[in-house]
Structures are given as C-alpha cells and as structure tokens.
Amino acid sequence: MQLYNKLSAKERAELIDKAGKNRLTLSFYQYAKIGNPQVFRDHLFITWNALDVLGRIYVAHEGINGQLSLPADRFNEFKNHLDSIDFLKDIRLNIAVEQDNKSFLKLKVKVRNKIVADGLNDDTFDVTNKGIHLKAEEFNQFIEDENTVLVDMRNHYESEIGRFKNAVTPDVDTFRDSLDIIEDDLKDHKEDKNLVMYCTGGIRCEKASAYFKHKGFKNVYQLEGGIIEYTRQVNEKNLENKFLGQNFVFDDRRAERISEDVIANCHQCGNPFDVHTNCANEACHLLFIQCDDCKRDMENCCSTNCMEINRLPHEEQKELRKGQGNSNDIFKKGRANHLPYKKDLRNIFDVLQKKSI
C-alpha cells in the first residue's frame, strides 16, 4: 500500500504533459477535532493519490489545510469524497483565479501540530468565537467606512506585490509576528473601530479573529474566503475590485494577477515589477523580485557571487554546499542586504498615524 509520493517533480511533470488533461488548482481549510491525524492522513493519501491529486495538505488535531490540484474531470469524485467526511461536507472550495497544470508536482499530506503555524496556545481562548464573515460586497462597503481599520494578515513579501487600497500591512516574516504588533498598535481602538482582516484564503483570519476578540476587540470582521473568494465574487457579480496587484500563492505559480496594477519594484534595479523568483544558486535559493532585464543580466541570480557559483559545474557546486546547510537568506524572502531595492521596513504604527487614527 503506497502512503507516500514516489515520483520526482520531473517525472510527475512528464506524466502531466502525457495525460494532456486540464487540471484545477484549489484550496480549502476546516477547523475540526480530528482524533487520530495519522490515520486520517493515510486515508486521504490513499484516496487522493488514486484520483491523481497533487498538492500540500496539512492535517492536525485541530483540522485540515489543503492546497492542491487535480484533473478537472475528476473534480466530482474528489468533491464526493469530501462530502463523505462529516466535517468536510459542503465545504467551500477556493478555486484558483489563474490555472496552471503544474502548480503542484507532488502529493504531500503531512501531520503537523497546527494547520497554520500561529504559535498560539488555543487552550487559553475560544477559537470558535470568530469574527463576522463579510462577503465581497459587504467588505467593499466596510473598508470605505472611516471607522474601519483594514489589516492585511499576510507576510511582507505577500502584501508587497498585492494588497487592498489603504490596508495596514505589518512588515513581518510570519503570521505569528503580526498578532502582537496589531494588538499593541490598535490597543486604544478596541471598542470604537471596526477591525477588518483579510488573507489569501481565509484560514489565518479564522484564528486571528478569535484571538483579537479574546483580547478585547469588540467589532471584528474577516473577508470570507480571503482574496481568492473575493475575486470570484467580484467577477461573478461585476463588483468594483478594490484589490491592487497580485495575490501571492504558495505553489509553483507564486501569484495570481487580480488587477493590472504593479505596486512593487524589482529588488535589483528598482523598476516597477511584481514577479517573484528564486535565486538559481541552489545554495541560496532566495525568494526575491527580479525583472526580466535583471534576470537576463544576472542569470536568474540574486548577486554576482551567486552567479559565479551557479556557473560552476554541478559537482563543484555540490562540493561547495557540503556541510554548509542552507543560507539564512532563504527565509528572509527578499530582505537580503545585497538587494539594493528590497522592500523598505515599515512599522504598522507609522501607517496608522497617516490614517489619523
């Protein structure tokens, strides 16, 4: 019985090309009590592997968080399987705005302590006491209200390429980092302001809204289904799109274009650009924004040093990497000091002051 992926990304890509089928990329999450995550995980892998599902799925005692792709002609089978599981019946599936047959190239179903790394002790507050969900039309109305503070619950490299107009974008590397910053900088407005939050697909706001209500915020709201569902509703109902730029996604597409606005800059030359890439030097692999001209001139590398290393024969590169581990820059997501136009550090308080809160 196969319980783990056995094919390389290259082999899987070749199979996708050979199959010649369109695939759907989608995501979903659900907080629920799962008694034995390992047994549940194995059941999902066996069933979904047979359906040619590929993606990254996290299972924990607190629920499930899935980002995946599958052949479009097997969607109904997949949905029927979800509906056969009590806590996943009729769950909202966020269908990707832009489709790519190779958004995922492996099926990874992992048991984790949490389905989102939030660093919170859930025993200290009621995680089911969540904020009020807003559909796209309601959301558009709320964020125009002068009594609303709109907060982006994503990380800096996500909001850098796309965000809602006038949103507060905490300059953080992780979701957990943003929680204390937001609470501290909005502590004087727990009762007189609407705290409206959004993220990619809604999962981070589910936990954050309960946390902020526990911390004393009285008027807490969240964008239902996140940016992905917002875009679907905007297109379906012909609403005004208030999102600027691209929505960062955690698969090989890296982003979905929501509007034609380009609000970011190449980290190497400073020209307007909003497409992330990974440094071609495998020992670095830094995620950063690089325009087409710099990609050509720098050979898809983030520095001349990385470019020189990447020109070496593959075996020499492997020797250089032995015992070195990965560079910490990998986790900086565009903050490396050698990038002259990396995103400026911004404090949430400075943004709020400009809004005269």
Residue 163 — φ and ψ, nearest 5°? -165, 165
DSSP state of 323: T
Q: Which of 46, 40, 47 is nearest to 65 (CA)?
A: 40
Q: Which of 215, 221, 227 is nearest to 159 (CA)?
A: 227
- Distances in Å between the Cα of 46 and the Cα atoms of 39, 111, 316 are 11, 15, 40
Strand partners, 181: none
β-pairing verdict for 23-31 and 94-95 = antiparallel
Q: Helices (DSSP H) in the chain: which residue ranges? A: 9-19, 37-50, 75-83, 136-142, 156-159, 175-185, 203-214, 226-237, 292-297, 304-310, 314-321, 348-354
As a whole number of angstroms, the distance between CA 355 and CA 111 comes to: 42
Give catalytic residue positions. 199
Helix (H) or strand (E) holding 55: strand 54-60
As a whole number of angstroms, the distance between CA 325 and CA 283 comes to: 8
Whether 338 and 307 have beta carbons less than 8 Å apart is answered as no
